[in-house]
Amino acid sequence: MPRVVGRLTALVDPRERRGRRHSLVSMLLTACCAVLAGARSYAAVGQWAVQAPQDALARLGVRATGPFALHQVPVTSTIRRVLQLTCPGGPADLLGRSPAGARQLAVDGTTARGSRTSTIPAAHLLSAVPSGGHTVASCRCRTRPPRSPALPRCSPGSA
């Protein structure tokens, strides 16, 4: 566990400094534990975090608040936003494996209609979908997704 925490503390927090209530490391550790427990989506990660025991949340570094010092997990949307900023491949990037357990993925790219303005180029999106039909990874790419088998490594905010 100390090696994982050491690696996570080296990450730059992509959030604005103002308004941070939860540490980046505690949110990423919580998401990692949820994925290890079988969470396959952002909603499942949030559900796992809400249902996690207080002693587990304390070990993950989740902040304690209130007169009873209860560990309060971030809401699902906050976890999702942080994961999308730090792990562009979604929950699959956390542990280097597919949370869906899929052996095959369909990858598709598209350009979002109506996303281009006079100052902002069109949004090009690349998504990975296993046989179950739920998107496990998606990212916004700087250029149009290729039509060849060679896939680019997209980074968040690269548009």
Q: Per-residue pLDDT for 151 more than 60?
A: no
Q: Are 107 and 151 in contact (CB under 8 A)?
A: yes
SS3 label, residue 138: strand
> C-alpha distances in angstroms, 72 versus 17, 38, 86, 87, 156?
20, 22, 21, 23, 28
pLDDT at residue 109, rounded to an integer: 75
Average pLDDT of the chain is 76
What is the pTM (predicted TM-score) of this model?
Answer: 0.56
Query: Most confidently modeled of 2-16, 93-107, 138-152?
Result: 2-16
